[in-house]
Amino acid sequence: MAEYLIKNGFVFDPVQGINGDKKDIAIKDGKIVESVGASAKVIDAAGKTVMAGGVDIHAHVAGPKVNVGRNFRPEDKKQAIYEPGRGVRRMSGGFSVPTVFKTGYEYANMGYTTVMEAAMPPFYARHVHEEIRDTPIIDQGAYPVFGNNWFVLEYLKNGEAENTAAYISWLLRMTKGFAIKCVNPGGTEAWGWGLNCTSIHDPVPYFDITPAEIVKGLIEANEYLKLPHSMHVHSNNLGNPGNYETTLETLKLAEGISAKNDFGREQVLHHTHIQFHSYGGTTWGDFESRADKIADYVNSQKNITCDIGFVTLDETTTMTADGPFEHHLCELNHLKWANTDVELETGSGVVPYVYSPDIYVCGLQWAIGLEIALLAKDSMRFHMTTDHPNAGPFTRYPRVMKWLMSAKARDEMFAGMKNEDKVRDRTGLSTMDRELSLYEIAMMTRAGTAKALGLSHMYGSLTPGLCGDVAVYDYNPETASDPEAIEKAFGKAAFLFKQGELIINDGEIVSNGNKRTLWVNVKTNENPQVERDIALKFNKFYTVNQNNYEVAAHHYVPNPYVFEIDATV
Amino acid sequence: METVTLTIKEQPPLFLEAEVFNPDALASKSAAEIAALPLPMGKTTPVVGDYFTVTGKGGATAAETKVVVNGDLTKVKYIGAHMSAGEVVINGNTDMYVGAWMTGGKITAKGTIGHFAATAMKGGEIIVEGDAGNYLAAAYRGDWRGMQGGRIHVKGNVGSDTGTFMMGGEIVIDGNADVHVMTHADGGKTVIKGNAKSRLGGQMVRGEIYLFGSVDVMMPGFNYVGDVELEVEGVKAKFAEYIGDTGERHPKSKGKLIYGKLYKKK
Amino acid sequence: MTKISLNLLTGRTIQQGSTMEGGKEKKAYTKAVAIIEMTPEDMKRLKVWKNTNVRVSNEFGSVVVKAVLAEQGLHSGDAYMPMGPWANMVVDPNTYSTGMPTFKGTPIEVEVAINEPIYDSQELVRRACGLKV
Amino acid sequence: MANIVSDVICTFCGTLCDDLEIELSDDGKKIKEVYHACAIGAEKFLHSQAEDRITRPRMMQEDGTTKEVSYEEAAKYTAKILCDAKKPLMYGWSSTSCEAQSVGHEIAEAVGGMVDNTATVCHGSSLIAVQDVGIPSCTLGEAMNRADRVVFWGCNPAHAHPRHMSRYSVYPRGFFTGKGAKSRKVIVIDPRKTDTASLADAHLQLDQGRDYELLSALRVAFRGEKLPDFVAGIPKDQIYEAADLLKSGRFVIIYFGMGVTQSLGKNHNIDIAIAVTRDLNDYTKAAIMPMRGHYNVTGSGEVLGWQFGFPYCVDLSRGIARYNPGETSSNDLLVRDEVDAAFILGSDPGAHFPISSVKKIAQLPSVAIDPHLTPTTAVCKLHVPVAFVGVEVGGCCYRMDNVPIESRKVVDPPEGMLTDQEFLTMVLAEVRKCKGV
């Protein structure tokens, strides 16, 4: 395999404490190394920014609801130029819900090399993996959803922690999943009857368990199984005025629990798209930011991480396993609504949404995300996401970076809003002059996310021994002054390496790489009861036979990277 | 105002996509430059000169450019699509997407035009001497934003799905309309001087339909509320007023529900 | 010669489905699909016994099939043909620019054609397409 | 000891039953018996064993006779007509695996094909409607476990999806529907008294082609607004009753089929049926599901979706993907003379398109890739027989509720026969040659 030497770039690597120093980065046999021989190909990075490949901890990029978004929005294709195939590239299109090819290419263009699919319905896992397989370049994993799963609800209701863990390990193996995702705990099961759980104390119909018990139970199961990532929650009551209290109550469930794993992960709870959960007020009329309360709490709790879910003020497509929320949303905007409830497991909904800068609620949502990120004391625990495509497409990360790094750029946005005063008045953002550094951006986009995922031994840093995932951006931190240059440079990497292979050469994608699918195979004690329960549910309540349920690795996961864990006691 | 005249000299084996046959694309171009513009046909890309003789030249801007297209244009799509200003005259029958996504200017079609004309039209004027096809002034697939402004006058008949998802602007049809008029409309106005088939205003939120002739089946969600004297397109007459679609949602204004309206000439 | 006007519906029958999987070139498929179902009243109007060959025609085409009594009750005035090449000789190809031909609700005329042959599926389409048989 | 393969997937209809048991001869070469399948499914497995089966590609001669050719020659011919054409139609895709579809899409991208699947004459109207108003739906098991109101609108599962009612919709005892059929009220809306209708608690035998009006009337009734005395031939009292019956359910599931997708109004009938479902969610819980026909037409829509962004009628002729049924749909393309070659795989337009479209196929350079002899193979220049997916080769298929299930290989195909994926891979190689890449 070719050797490379990336010379004289401004290197940003928070893990090694490298903050913009001019350094050379060497790549050999797919890994970062101390040095390479004279024969190594030299990439001149003088005047450019060098970082490890980006790691996305939460995006909806593959699977059934993503494809519903594509197929039921032909008009979304008209929001972006559809690009013909060229060289190694297939044709690629779509704006808020890009095709799998565009997903791979656009992440690569942003210097990202690893992306986690945020919600995999187990019953549809095969579909998720078919899309992941067809997505070029990037390494991917997927989080199966557990927060409304009948097995989990029953085991937790009976306080059977060991059975919960045994079932989870089985399902991770069946679906080739990477982590435990929990969306609107209990609420989506309630939606099976057209109901919801809007507080963590609302009992789930029939199952008679509360969201609080589900969240706590899943956190404990996660640590019992010593998984790389922590329990990954989208808490109840998303998107509603006054929901910050539900969010704080949910976060407090992690108090006193500490992480158990061999992957360097410190948190036990990751709260996703926390922007959507930081709202004050009681109605849309007195709607206001409570970013301060949320940021303060997360700052104070070392065992919690979060990603933001920045609103980018675009016309986009919302999609979530939070079925009742999507129904609520379509009642508000009267646009098309897709919903799929999944037997024994979960549900989901999809609704287009236009975040207009002229609507003050949207303006406020934009401000709240930035406010949280700028209140962060430790950017390693506040991560860059747009909850793609819910708050905006992932292709806007460079624009979000611009807003985070430039008060001037933020003021221009405020100035463009119809209700500027109202928006400024209801968020702390308008008085903030903090501008994040590239060092902090590197934490939010790779170092912090890799660590929270338990992947810091592979990704997120340029430490010798790690994967040869390196991005070179045409951005000179010493001379750049125009904030627009940030958006431009970080949206189009000059060079990109994935596992030591040159993917982008001088701005052009030249290889589709050798993408891998990450999943976790965790061994637990033999558990005849759980085996019986599984057989019984398949016999009586599933419409697919148990022998046709497992996602066969051979075909759907052609290039797996398996994390083997022993959680037997 | 400069004029570009395009005359078809040979019928193509397949359909031509004339995305350049509009004032915006031809402004400030010479006949020679225009003849060299692409005229895609399937996977091949002939140029305008391969199938059309070009005379005259474009004006300095779209507004100062008139495009005249002559001949049998039944295998030519997109004439006047995406235009923002200026004028287009179509001397002969033509195919799909006439004036689609148009935002301004004027199109006069001397013959018949094909389906999907005036898709998502935002402004300007279209006059059709002959008939128009299906989906006149409808939204593009999946979009909830149909015709939003401008005026269309069809002197002949129109096909099905006229004004689907219409939000604004007006359509006047001298002849008859096939099934489904202003389905899902949330504004705008359509006048049918001839007869209508069934499904006028199905799932209509807001908007107005004026019908001079007969309709074979009324939608069950339209209620008769009384007669009104109106002047419509220069015709003074008594109309029976219906409100609907009562099965559909309707916005409130000052506590009162706003309905779609159907006026049927007595 | 009596001729009656009917409204044609087409669609699946389980016999059509299973004989199709058995092979569209086989006699069983022709027997199951080259038929038109009518109500007893319409049969009377047409003055035919069941299992008589009839010619079904309209502006779109013409085809000879067997007239049979509708097993699944129809409104009088409606007729039913299993989906397949025989029905498709006369269905309305108009898609109203939706892509979907009007397979249901096509006006047809039916007349007795006792001595005219019913072709098998392959011969039927080859003849219609002007190909040698 | 009998040689039984179990948990076999039935690759006939969108119900995609996965509980078949197939008894093989002791040497495992022949299928002897098929258990649990419906009449159609069983016939499919047994027909694959037919002695007179075509096992090699055949070119049609001027005089109507055929001449056997090798798969290599067939692949060359197929690649040539696709490369020579300015705008080739590539239709079908619904009776094959997602893996084969993917290879086909690479070919289509290389030759600028018009890629369309059988939804175009089946549930294409539904896809358009979903794009206009969305679709509140669920998996078949969700309906089995919860639904106490079951509506069959313009569909006849007793004939088209024979095991649907016993496996999913009417008879099974689900988690919250422990009394099986007794837990459910079944309503059929159909102009015919179908065998499904005769099992129903209520049958609204409407006038054919007036579904849009009747669905609209239901919405009016939900809101307690007034109705004319009759709508679509149904007295208003019956409509108000039906509306109350639906509103009073805990979980309503509406299954619909060709009766609505192919009648006057097409997509609008589905659009308003979805509106009815959406309305019902204001009073209770409701879902709606298309009764998809071919066993993997759904999969074709899914793969097209994630690769190009549209579920059918995908126009790749300009090197980018475009979409507009009515323009880029097979029957419009054929009748309007918009295409100059026809490639057909895994479906039979010769039998299931209006004859006016079939005549156009017969005039074009054409190839039909299909295990069977069909009216399509009878009018195409080249017929390439291939192995049966789900019998002689496995692969991923999507059920009518979009659930992916991996079909199984049960027996080997006849000696020397290729699968469609293998043949398409040869065609792709030939296409790359003539493209010089």
Buried b / exposed e along D384-398 (16+ C-beta atoms within 10 A): bbbbbbbbbbbbbbb
Reported as type and span, the H/E element at residue A540 is: helix A528-540
Query: Is the pLDDT assigned to residue B46 strictly greater than 80?
Result: yes
Cβ atoms of A309 and A294 closer than 8 Å: no
Which pLDDT tens digit goes with each residue over A380-435? 999 999 999 999 999 999 999 999 999 999 999 999 999 999 999 999 999 999 99
Domain C3-128 has CATH 2.40.40.20: yes
Residues in D 8-37 with any Cβ partner in C closer than 8 A: 12
**Lookup result for tokens 């640590």:** A223
* A63-94 pLDDT tens trace: 999 999 999 999 999 999 999 999 999 999 99
- Count B/C contacts: CB-CB distance under 8 Å: 14
Q: Is B23 left (phi over 0), alpha (psi -120 to 50) or beta?
A: alpha
Q: Do A75 and B143 touch (CB under 8 A)?
A: yes
CA A545 to chain centre: 32
Q: What is the mean pLDDT of residues B71-97?
A: 98
Chain B residues with beta carbon closer than 8 angstroms to that of A74: 140-143
* Phi then psi dihedrals of residue A32, to 5 deg: -75, 135
The verdict on residue A174 lying in a domain is yes
Q: Map tokens 């202003």 to a residue.
A: B182
Q: What is the predicted pLDDT for the residue at D1?
A: 65
Band (pLDDT 50/70/90 cuts) for residue A314 is: very high
Q: Which residues of B touch C96 (CB under 8 A)?
A: 134, 159-161, 178-179
Span B240-262, mean pLDDT?
96
Residues B160-173 pLDDT 10s: 999 999 999 999 99
Residues of A in contact with D289 (CB under 8 A): none
Alpha-carbon span D303 to A130, nearest angstrom? 9
Per-residue pLDDT for A333 more than 80? yes
How far apart (Å, rounded) are the C-alpha atoms in residues A453 and A8? 30
Cβ-nearest to D396 among A99, A126, A351: A126
Amino acid D164 reads H
- Residue B20 scores a pLDDT above 80: yes
| Residues of D (360-399) whose Cβ lies below 8 Å from A | 396, 398
Check residue C30 and give its pLDDT. Answer: 97
The partner residue sitting opposite D306, judged by closest CB among A99, A192, A350, is A99
pLDDT tier at B201 (50, 70, 90 boundaries)? Answer: very high
Closest CA of chain D from A547, distance in Å: 7
pLDDT digits (tens, 9 = 90+) for A132-188: 999 999 999 999 999 999 999 999 999 999 999 999 999 999 999 999 999 999 999
**Nearest residue to A177 via CA among A515, A541, A557:** A557
Q: What is the ipTM of this complex?
A: 0.97
Q: What residues of chain D score a pLDDT lower than 70?
A: 1
At B245, list the tokens.
Answer: 């679609």
Tens-digit pLDDT profile for residues A106-118: 999 999 999 999 9
Give D109 to chain B, closest Cα distance, Å: 11
pLDDT of residue A348: 97
Residues 6+ apart with CB under 8 A from D350: C85, C125, D358, D361, D368, D374, D375, D376, D377, D378, D379, D380
Tens-digit pLDDT profile for chain C (133 aa)?
A: 799 999 999 999 999 999 999 999 999 999 999 999 999 999 999 999 999 999 999 999 999 999 999 999 999 999 999 999 999 999 999 999 999 999 999 999 999 999 999 999 999 999 999 998 8
Q: Is D132 on the interface with C (CB under 8 A)?
A: no
Amino acid at D68: E
* Distance between CA atoms of residues B97 and B104, nearest Å: 15
Q: Look at B220 and D86 and tell me if their CB atoms are within 8 Å.
A: no
Starting at the earlier edge strand, list the strands of the sheet with D185-189.
Answer: D202-204, D185-189, D149-153, D251-256, D285-290
pLDDT in tens, A186-238: 999 999 999 999 999 999 999 999 999 999 999 999 999 999 999 999 999 99
Alpha-carbon span D391 to D398, nearest angstrom: 16
Please list the alpha-helical segments (H only) found in D287-329: 297-308
3-state secondary structure A256-299: CCCCCCCCCCCCCEEECCHHHHCEECCCCCCCEECHHHHHHHHH
Count of CB pairs separated by less than 8 Å, C with D: 200
What letter does residue A254 receive in the DSSP assignment? T
DSSP β-bridge partners for residue C69 = C38
Q: pTM to 2 decimals?
A: 0.98
Inspect the interface and report whether the beta carbons of D213 and B220 lie closer than 8 Å: yes
pLDDT at A98 over 90: yes
Pairing type for strands B65-70 and D382-384 reads unpaired
Cβ burial, residue B153 (10 Å; 0-12/13-18/19+): middle
Nearest-CA distance from D340 to chain B in Å?
8
pLDDT score for D62: 84
- C75/D207 Cβ within 8 A: yes
List the beta bridge partners of residue D315.
Answer: D114, D322
* Tokens at B37, concatenated: 């513009």
Distances (CA, A) of D152 to D177, D190, D215: 18, 8, 13
| Mean of per-residue pLDDT scores for chain B | 98
Cβ within 8 Å, pair C96-B133: no
What is the per-residue pLDDT across C40-71, written as a single tens digit (0 to 9) for each? 999 999 999 999 999 999 999 999 999 999 99
The pLDDT tens digits for B138-196 are 999 999 999 999 999 999 999 999 999 999 999 999 999 999 999 999 999 999 999 99
d(CA A265, CA A303): 9
Once rounded to an integer, what is the mean pLDDT over residues A251-265? 98
**pLDDT-based confidence at residue A303 (cuts at 50, 70, 90):** very high
Question: For chain A, how many structural domains are there in total?
Answer: 1
Burial of residue D415 (CB within 10 Å: 0-12, 13-18, 19+) is exposed
B101 part of contact set with chain A, CB < 8 Å: no
Sign of CA dihedral A65, A70, A74, A79: positive
| Boundaries of domain holding A104 | 52-452
Question: Closest Cα partner for D324 from B119, A352, A93?
Answer: B119
Cα–Cα dist C69/C51, whole Å: 8
Place of tokens 């050798």: A514
- For position A349, which CATH number holds? 3.20.20
Cα gap C48→A295, rounded to integer Å: 84
Cα-atom radius of gyration of chain A, to the nearest Å? 22
Q: What residue type is assigned to position A419 of the chain? A: N
Distance CA A136, CA D29 (A): 40
- B159 Cβ under 8 Å from any chain C Cβ: yes
Any idea what DSSP says for residue A552?
Answer: -
Q: Which two tokens stand for residue B147?
A: 């015709």
**Other beta carbons less than 10 A from residue A38's beta carbon:** 7
Residue A470 lies in a domain: no
User: Would you state the torsion angle of the CA atoms of residues D239, C6, D332, D121, taken in this order, to the nearest 10 degrees?
Assistant: 60
Neighbouring chains of A at 3+ CB pairs under 8 Å are B, D
Mean pLDDT of A340-360: 97
Distance from CA of D389 to the nearest CA of C (A): 14
